[in-house]
Chain A
């Protein structure tokens, strides 16, 4: 875990450098165009006597260099060295431009500042200072070489009618101010950048610790569910055995028993039976949480057929209560991608609730719908309804509303949580609307886009 976040961090830092570098390269194209336009308009519009050929040759060299950079961009091993190299080459190009536009008198000299900022962004503090040092060295060398006429001074008379490059004091002040401005810029830019990077590192560390905590929680929850599953599973066998034995005694296979003893056995058997239902419910609930449905088990099920089948199985109960059943199917088969057993559990639980909590002679409607986005099954009844307060708690495990208890004393309170869990496994949702004494409508929706 810690290893993977570490490498991820490193690569995100590198990723950032790569992105900055490619932005840097793009910027160079703009510089090339800018130099061409500026020098050509200075020459022809402002009639400044620039050595245009030399400037355009330098520009062409920059253009070539940039193309090479693009070409090698993807094969570079150390991006920091690549950045260092590019900045150095730029500075050499810049010093040539400065030389051909008037040397120490050239306004192009201000452009050194830009690369200081770029270096501060791309490189470490130390490297940024070293690069600034290199720039200072280039400016100083140029001034000295021109001052001692070791290289010729290009004089732009439109800017400086009287040349100042050979004025020692002017030269010293230019050198002093360019050194200080470069270093102050380097200091400001690196300190801002450092602060940003530190903040970013803090955020990454925070994000990592949150992700870690979340993963731990999730793992814990999974372990807890796994444990509960095992425990519940283990509870089944003894419960089954107890109930099987009680049944045999109750039905007299162990010999005659007194009426009172038989009554007590029946009571015990009922309680174990309830306990077993509870355990089975818990298993359904937890199994949905710890096991994802297997691809191979998911089938295309026509919801119309599934609803009909479920209602057929409940015929006995609905007839006993004289309930009217109204099914509205979709005009054509509507296929849902789901594990058939899961859909059975969902429908059986929901329709069974409607049957249970609707009085004699009531009506149960099942409405199947297909919209652009969803497959919907609406189950409504004319039953006892659910209060507003209960609606908020009805999906809580083991919760049973007062009026539900009035109808049926014993219930596990697991039906709806199981149903909700199952529906959510398929990205669906369940919504319940109810009016006390009027009835309840349960709407189950499955999104169509998740169906493929």
Chain B
């Protein structure tokens, strides 16, 4: 269980820090990326046990595109080795009306395993992390 590697992809360093603290306190090994492109590169190199992914970065849907890349079923996918890494998506959009998507509605086909809402509650984050890592095994 210990020293499992978690990749956080989020452009807000303060949110990253707020998540890193409780995760590291629970002996997870945390690596971070501050945008989608960097995140994809890190995912390929590091093959983490879990990816925590922010939806809104440079664009409102950048996180979705990253998730689709990682879960690409195609035989030539660059991210073959990442296909089975669980993804926890951070979102603030469920309360935002008028957006063109909402995670609740799209989770049937959105290739992520769970959602967590901003602001991040450390307990909630740790529970979901533990649950996703356990489910993976």
Q: Which residues of A contact B (CB under 8 A)?
A: 236-237, 239-245, 247-248, 251, 253-254, 273, 276, 280, 283-284, 287-288, 290-291, 341-342, 345
User: Given known contacts A237-B12, A253-B21, A287-B97, is B92 in contact with A247 (CB within 8 Å)?
Assistant: no
Contact check, A240 vs B97: say whether CB atoms are below 8 A apart: no
User: Given known contacts A247-B121, A248-B122, A251-B122, is B97 in contact with A241 (CB within 8 Å)?
Assistant: no
Which residues B93-127 have CB closer than 8 A to chain A?
A: 95-98, 102, 118-123
B18 at interface (Cβ–Cβ under 8 A)? Answer: yes
Chain B contacts for A248, CB-based, 8 A: 17-19, 21-22, 122
B14 at interface (Cβ–Cβ under 8 A)? Answer: yes
List 11 extra interface pairs beyond A253-B21, A284-B97, CB under 8 A. A236-B92, A236-B118, A239-B119, A240-B15, A241-B15, A248-B18, A248-B21, A248-B122, A254-B21, A287-B96, A290-B98
Q: How far is the CB of B40 from chain A (nearest CB, A)?
A: 23
User: Given known contacts A236-B92, A248-B18, A248-B21, is B119 in contact with A243 (CB within 8 Å)?
Assistant: yes
In the complex, 10 of the A-B residue pairs with CB atoms within 8 angstroms, ordered by the A residue number, are A236-B118, A244-B18, A244-B119, A245-B17, A245-B18, A251-B123, A253-B21, A283-B96, A290-B98, A342-B97
Roughly how many angstroms separate A287 CA and B19 CA in the complex, as a whole number?
A: 30
Nearest A residue to B17, CB-CB: A245
**6 smallest A-B Cβ distances: which pairs?**
A244-B18, A243-B119, A241-B14, A253-B21, A287-B98, A291-B98
Q: How far is the CB of A342 from chain B (nearest CB, A)?
A: 7
User: Given known contacts A253-B22, A254-B21, is B118 in contact with A244 (CB within 8 Å)?
Assistant: yes
B1 at interface (Cβ–Cβ under 8 A)? Answer: no
Contact check, B18 vs A241: say whether CB atoms are below 8 A apart: yes
User: Given known contacts A253-B25, A287-B97, is B119 in contact with A276 (CB within 8 Å)?
Assistant: yes
Main secondary structure of the interface of A (DSSP, over half): helix
Q: Which of B15, B19, B98, B118 has the most CB of A within 10 A?
A: B98
CB-contact partner of B22 in A239, A251, A284, A341, under 8 A: A251
Roughly how many angstroms separate A251 CA and B119 CA in the complex, as a whole number?
A: 14
User: Given known contacts A236-B92, A253-B122, is B19 in contact with A244 (CB within 8 Å)?
Assistant: yes
Nearest A residue to B13, CB-CB: A241
Contact check, B21 vs A283: say whether CB atoms are below 8 A apart: no
Chain A contacts for B95, CB-based, 8 A: 280, 283-284
Interface string of B1-35 (1 = CB under 8 A from A): 00000000000101101110110010000000000
Nearest B residue to A292, CB-CB: B98
Nearest B residue to A284, CB-CB: B97
Chain A contacts for B17, CB-based, 8 A: 245, 248
Roughly how many angstroms separate A268 CA and B12 CA in the complex, as a whole number?
A: 21
Q: Which of B14, B17, B118, B119 has the most CB of A within 10 A?
A: B119
Roughly how many angstroms separate A292 CA and B82 CA in the complex, as a whole number?
A: 40
Q: How far is the CB of A79 from chain B (nearest CB, A)?
A: 49
Roughly how many angstroms separate A248 CA and B18 CA in the complex, as a whole number?
A: 6
Roughly how many angstroms separate A241 CA and B119 CA in the complex, as a whole number?
A: 7
Roughly how many angstroms separate A245 CA and B21 CA in the complex, as a whole number?
A: 9
Q: How far is the CB of B116 from chain A (nearest CB, A)?
A: 11
Chain A contacts for B21, CB-based, 8 A: 248, 253-254
Roughly how many angstroms separate A247 CA and B92 CA in the complex, as a whole number?
A: 17
Chain B contacts for A244, CB-based, 8 A: 14-15, 18-19, 118-120
Chain B contacts for A242, CB-based, 8 A: 14, 119
Chain B contacts for A241, CB-based, 8 A: 12, 14-15, 18, 119
Q: How far is the CB of A43 from chain B (nearest CB, A)?
A: 81
Chain B contacts for A283, CB-based, 8 A: 95-97
Chain A contacts for B25, CB-based, 8 A: 253
Roughly how many angstroms separate A254 CA and B122 CA in the complex, as a whole number?
A: 12
Chain B contacts for A251, CB-based, 8 A: 22, 122-123
Chain A contacts for B120, CB-based, 8 A: 240, 244, 247
Roughly how many angstroms separate A240 CA and B15 CA in the complex, as a whole number?
A: 8
Roughly how many angstroms separate A287 CA and B102 CA in the complex, as a whole number?
A: 15
Nearest A residue to B12, CB-CB: A241
Chain B contacts for A240, CB-based, 8 A: 15, 92, 118-120
Contact check, A247 vs B122: say whether CB atoms are below 8 A apart: yes
Roughly how many angstroms separate A254 CA and B20 CA in the complex, as a whole number?
A: 10
Nearest B residue to A291, CB-CB: B98
Chain B contacts for A253, CB-based, 8 A: 21-22, 25, 122
Roughly how many angstroms separate A241 CA and B54 CA in the complex, as a whole number?
A: 13
Nearest B residue to A243, CB-CB: B119
Contact check, A247 vs B96: say whether CB atoms are below 8 A apart: no
Nearest B residue to A273, CB-CB: B119
Q: How far is the CB of A373 from chain B (nearest CB, A)?
A: 28
Q: How far is the CB of A208 from chain B (nearest CB, A)?
A: 33
Q: How far is the CB of B111 from chain A (nearest CB, A)?
A: 22
Roughly how many angstroms separate A243 CA and B121 CA in the complex, as a whole number?
A: 9
Roughly how many angstroms separate A248 CA and B20 CA in the complex, as a whole number?
A: 9
Roughly how many angstroms separate A412 CA and B43 CA in the complex, as a whole number?
A: 42
Q: Which of B19, B102, B118 has the most CB of A within 10 A?
A: B118
CB-contact partner of A341 in B102, B119, B121, under 8 A: B102
Nearest A residue to B24, CB-CB: A253
Roughly how many angstroms separate A253 CA and B26 CA in the complex, as a whole number?
A: 9
Nearest A residue to B22, CB-CB: A253
Q: How far is the CB of B105 from chain A (nearest CB, A)?
A: 9
Roughly how many angstroms separate A243 CA and B19 CA in the complex, as a whole number?
A: 12
Roughly how many angstroms separate A283 CA and B96 CA in the complex, as a whole number?
A: 7
